[in-house]
Each structure stands twice: as structure tokens, then as C-alpha cells.
Chain A
Amino acid sequence: MALGTSAPVRSGSIADFDRTTSIWGPITLGLGLVITMAAAFFVAFGTGLGITAGEFWTAVGAVALLLGIGAIIEPIMYYPILGKSAMYQAFMIGNIGNKLLPASIVAQNKLGAKAGTKRAEFISGSAIIGAVIVHLITLIVIVGLLGTWLLSLIPGEVIETVQAFILPAVFGAMIPQLVSFLIKPKSKAPAEADAESYADAGVTD
């Protein structure tokens, strides 16, 4: 794994961060992968439903054929935006475009980060952690604990509306954030202006 020895490292601490994330990022994402694979095999072959290997691989092949292209496009699309360390977070956590990206951009906007810098990468990683905390709590409470009960309470129309319009609603709300982030990256507190001139040098990885 690349530890950034080829590029000049301005501070040992950045290298520390890169080392930790390039070891633990793939390990945690790999663990997620193993668990997911185990779930697939268990449900298909461990439950005594008589699913044949042929049926299993037909379904797998059809999904890979029809949706596999997304698996290649999404990491390519998100890498330049998220940066190396956050890639391992994002592809473990999921809901990237509609949840993690908004959280990351709002935070970078608020703290006045310049895209592509280490400062931006750290802010983005922190924002994703914040988003995860909220997301895990929401899922555990609303879906895990109260799910079946809530489903009987919430009118079908509400759920249908959310289902139909949630993506345009999230993406629309992102537009002004994105415009402000891309066009006026200098609109930030004066105290942070100093930090920015150094930030470029921090991109060493």
C-alpha cells in the first residue's frame, strides 16, 4: 500500500494519517465485504431453501451484467471528490451521493476548505463521521427498533411522496451549496485565510 514516500512530506503527521487510513481503510472495507458475501451465501445455501448453484450464479450474473457498470463508474466518479481516505469510508457506509457528499460539501463550505487540499480531506472525513453518527442513530431507532410499529402509523402517502421525490429534493438543495463551494471558495472567516495558503503544500499523500 502506498505510504507517500515518493512525494515530499511536509509534516510527519500527515504521513501518520495516510498510513493509518491506508491500512485501516481497506481492512474495514474488506471486513464489510466479507460480511456481505457471507450474508449472500448464508441466505442462499444455509437456509435449506433448495436454491441451486445454477440459480444463484444466474441471479449474480444478471445483476453484474445489468448493474455492474455502476460499480465501476461510481468509484471513478467519487475518487477525485472524496480523496483516498474517504473512499474507504464512503463505500463502506453507502448512500454516497444523497447523504455523505452533501454532509462533506456543507462542512467544507462552512469551514472554508479549498478542494483538493489535505485540510479539505480532513474536514470531509470529519463531516462523514458526523453524518455516520446521525445516520446510525436514525437507522437503529426508526428502522431497527420502531420500524414495524412506525410503518403502521405513517400514512402510505407520506412514504410514497418521500420515495418519489427524495433524490431531486436532496440534489436540488445541494446546488446552491455546490455553487458557493466551487465559485467562491474564498468566502470564509478572515482568520482562516492564512491556513489556506499553506494548505496546498499539505497535499502530499
Chain B
Amino acid sequence: MALRVVSTGGDLTAIAFHPILWALAVAVFAVIVLQSVIYLRAIRKSATAAELTQAEVTQAVRTGAVAAIGPSLAVALVALSLLPLFGTPAVLTRIGLVGSAPYDVAAAGIGASTVGASLGGDGYTAKVFAISFAAMCVLGVLWMVSALIITPLFNQTGKVLRKVNPKVMAIAPLVVLPLAFAFLIISEVGKSPINGIVLVVSAVIGGACLLAAMKWGVHWLREWGLGIAIFGSLLVGAAVAVS
């Protein structure tokens, strides 16, 4: 997407970097930290009952952390690029946390268009920013409300299903996971042929890392492979796009 640097000064910057927005951004960070602390304590406490040792819990945390390095750096870079448009507090809480770039930028664009403006365009005033940011927030609220309703609902359904056939809930992820990923992949590859190349290159590099990890017992390659594949395929994508 084309980004235009918002002219500094004026009340847009003052509002995008308003102390109250900063405070709310810090509050989001705090809630996530609180949740993680509560969850980790609960996991550690009941680990044995779930056939998991304390060392394995530590290993799972560490593996998740390393696997997230590549994706997190990528999210941070995308977030950086949106700083001129939305300012730090909005980018941190909407793009970095809670939401994600594609949906939130779309929501912001829709919000701006309802007052006849576009993101970063000539008419991108403080008011347009405020409407766009509110639109992003409301999208996030919809997401969270939906998760809060659907989660207990599905939990009840799952219990009923399990009584009918205990295997159903074990099989469900095996069916839904490939479908969900096929959905994500098709929507990305459809955007441009280079996306398809990047996807294949990334899959090949990631596959090579995983094979090497299994064949020669290079265990760190299991989680680092993700970052290596992302970095490698981005380089290839850049090369293809330039040529």
C-alpha cells in the first residue's frame, strides 16, 4: 500500500500521541502480561496431570519464543511502516497486539472512507485519524466479543460431542487445521504470482530445515527453521520483484 508521511505538527500528531492513548496502550500490555503470568502458573501447577514435566513446559515456552522471533520481527517491521499513519500508541495496540495489520488497515481505510477521506491522503486530518482509529478499535471489539461468545458455546458443544463419540474432539483439529491453512494460503497466493513463489521457497527452506533437524538430530533447527525460511524467502521475493 502507498504510505504518505503525515505532516508533523498540527493536532493530528497531538491526538495520535495523546497521553491517554499511551496510557491505554500500556494498559493493554499490562493485561497481556497479567494473563500470561496467570496461565503459566496454571500450566506449571497442573503440568503433571497433563503428562508434562516442568522441564517440558520450559522447553515449550522456549520453543514458542524462538519460533516467534521471525514472525515477531516481521510484524514489528510492518508496524514501523504504519507509524507515520497512526502514531505509536495506535500501532502498538492495533497492529502489534490484539489485531493484525491486514484487517486493521482495512478497517481504518473503511473508517476514513465514511467521512470521504483516504488514509494518508490530502484530507487525512486529525478527525479522519480519529474516525479510522475508532473503526480499528471497534473491529477489535467485535473480534473479542465474538471470541467471548463462541468459546464457551463451542466448549459445551464439544462436551456433548465427546459423550457421543470421544474421538471427535481429537480428530477435529486434524481436519480444521489443514482447512484453515489452505484458506490462509489460497487467499495469499491469489494476490500475486510472486506471493506463490515466496510461499514455495519458504516451504522448501522450512522443509529442508525440518528434515535436517530430524535426520541429523539438529534440534534447534526445528524452531529456528521458521525464521530462516521466512528470511530466505523474503530475500528471494525481493530479488524476484526487482528483476
Asked whether any CB of chain B lies closer than 8 Å to the CB of A172, the reply is yes
Q: Are A28 and B68 in contact (CB under 8 A)?
A: no
Task: Tell me whether A40 and B181 are in contact (CB under 8 A).
Answer: no
Residues of A within 8 A of B137 (CB): 36-37, 39-40, 43
Asked if A44 contacts B170 (CB within 8 A), the reply is no
Asked whether A135 lies within 8 Å of B75 as measured between CB atoms, the reply is yes
Interface residues on B, range: 35 or more
Q: Contact flags (1/0) for A42-55 with B, using CB distance below 8 Å?
A: 11101101110001
Give chain B interface residues in 110-166, CB to chain A under 8 Å: 110-111, 113-115, 126-127, 130-135, 137-148, 150-152, 154-156, 158-159, 162-163, 166
The CA of A61 and the CA of B20, in the complex, are separated in Å by 25
Report which of B73, B83, B211 forms a contact with A148, defined as CB distance below 8 A.
B83
Assess the A142–B131 pair: CB atoms within 8 A: no
Q: Report A48 CB to chain B, min CB distance, Å.
A: 9
A97 proximity list for chain B (CB < 8 A): 100, 180, 184
Interchain CB contact (< 8 A) of B159 among A7, A37, A41 = A7
B contact residues around A93 at 8 Å (CB): 32, 97-98
Q: Give CA–CA (A168, B234) in the complex, Å.
A: 9
B interface footprint on A117-153 (CB within 8 Å = 1, 0 otherwise) = 1110111011111111111101110111001101100
Do residues B88 and A143 form an inter-chain contact, with CB atoms below 8 A? yes
Judging by beta carbons under 8 Å apart, are A59 and B147 in contact?
Answer: no
**Alpha-carbon separation in the docked complex, A111 to B83 (Å):** 38
Contact of B24 with A59 in the complex, beta carbons under 8 Å: no
Q: Nearest A residue to B200 by beta-carbon distance?
A: A172
For A, the interface residue count at a CB cutoff of 8 angstroms equals 151
A38 with B24: CB separation less than 8 A: yes
Taking CB as reference atom, which chain B residue is nearest A72? Answer: B146
Nearest opposing residue in chain B for A148, CB measure: B83
A55 touches B200 (CB 8 A): no
A198 vs B33: C-alpha distance when bound (angstroms): 32
Contact of A176 with B by CB under 8 A: yes
Question: Which residues does chain A contribute within 8 Å of B152, judged by CB atoms?
Answer: 1-2, 22, 84
- Shortest CB–CB separation between residue A72 and chain B, in angstroms? 6
How far apart sit A12 and B169, CA to CA, in the bound complex (Å)? 21
Residues of A within 8 A of B7 (CB): none
Partner of B142, one of A71, A107, A109, A180: A71
- A168 pairs with B199, CB closer than 8 A: yes
A159: B residues at CB distance < 8 A: 77-78, 80-81
Q: Which residue of B lies closest to A96 (CB)?
A: B100
Q: Which residues on the B side are within 8 Å of A30 (C-beta)?
A: 144, 148
Interface residues of A in 159-175 (CB under 8 A from B): 159-175
Alpha-carbon separation in the docked complex, A77 to B230 (Å): 24
Chain B, Cβ-Cβ closest to A85 = B39
Per-residue 0/1 for B90-106: is the Cβ within 8 Å of any A Cβ (1 yes, 0 no)? 01110011111011001
Are A116 and B198 interface neighbours, CB within 8 A?
no
Question: Which residues from B are CB-within-8-Å of A31?
Answer: 31
Known: A63-B139, A95-B75, A178-B177. A115 touches B170 (CB 8 A): yes
Task: Confirm or deny: B47 has a beta carbon within 8 angstroms of a beta carbon on chain A.
Answer: yes
Near B by CB (< 8 A), chain A positions 1-48 give 1-2, 4, 6-7, 10-14, 16-17, 20-22, 24-26, 28-33, 35-44, 46-47
Nearest 5 CB-CB pairings of A with B: A127-B64, A172-B202, A130-B64, A130-B65, A116-B170
> Can you report 9 A-B residue pairs in the complex whose CB atoms are below 8 A from each other?
A32-B28, A36-B144, A56-B134, A78-B180, A93-B32, A99-B68, A115-B170, A135-B68, A198-B51
